[in-house]
Structure 1
Amino acid sequence: MNKLNFILIFFLALALSSCEEERFDVKKYGSVSGIVVDGSDYSGLSGVLITTTPPSTAILTDENGAFQFDKVQEGPVIITARKEDYLTGTVSIAVFENENTNLTFFLSKDENDVGNVVLFDPVPGNGAVNQNLDLTLGWRTDQSQADRTLTYTVFLFESNSTNQEIIGQNLTTTQVIASNLKPNTTYYWYVLAKFEGRNVANSPTWTFRTGTGS
Structure 2
Amino acid sequence: MKTKLWIPAIFLLLIFVGCEEEKIDIEKFGSVSGVVLDGEDYTPLEGVLVSTSPASSTTLTNAEGVFEFNKVKEGEVAVTARKKDFLSGSVSVAVYESESTALTFFMLKDDKDVGWVSIYDPVPGNGAIDQQTSFTFQWNVDQQNRSKELDYTVYYFESGSTVQKIAGENLTASEVIVDGLNYSTTYYWYVVAKYEGDKVANSPTWSFKTDDNNE
TM bucket (normalised to shorter chain) is 0.5 to 0.7
Give the match for residue 92 of structure 1.
92
Q: CA deviation at 1:118?
A: 4.1
Over 6 Å off, 4+ runs: 4-12
Aligned to 1:143: 172
Q: Contact (CA 8 Å) 1:114, 1:200: kept in 2 or not?
A: no
Q: What is the alpha-carbon distance in structure 2 between the residues aligned to residue 9 and residue 100 of structure 1? A: 45
After TM superposition, the score normalised by the length of structure 2 is 0.55
- Does residue 202 (structure 1) correspond to residue 196 (structure 2)? The answer is no
* TM-score with structure 1 setting the length: 0.55
Alpha-carbon offset, residue 33 of structure 1? 1.4
Distance in 2 between the 1:206 and 1:60 partners?
Answer: 23
Identity over aligned pairs, percent: 39
Post-superposition shift, 1:20? 2.8
The structural deviation recorded for 1:43 is: 2.5
Aligned length: 156
Partner secondary structure for residue 22 of structure 2: helix
Structure 1 unaligned regions, length at least 5: 145-188, 208-214
1:114 equivalent in alignment to 2:114: no
Distance change >3 Å, CA 137–CA 106, structure 1 → 2: farther
Q: Is contact 2:153-2:166 (8 Å) kept?
A: no
Alignment of 1:1-214 (within 5 A): 14-55=14-55, 57-110=57-110, 111=112, 112=114, 114-120=148-154, 122-124=155-157, 128-129=159-160, 131-132=161-162, 135-136=163-164, 138=166, 140-141=168-169, 142-143=171-172, 193-195=194-196, 199=198, 201-204=200-203, 206=205
Q: For structure 2, which runs of at least 5 residues remain unmatched after alignment?
A: 115-146, 174-189, 207-215
1:124 counterpart SS class: strand
Instruction: Go from structure 1 to structure 2 and tell me whether the alpha carbon gap of 1:50 and 1:107 turns closer, same or farther (over 3 Å shift).
Output: same
Distance 2:193 2:108 in 1: 8
Which stretch of structure 1 is more off in the superposition, 22-31 or 59-68? 22-31
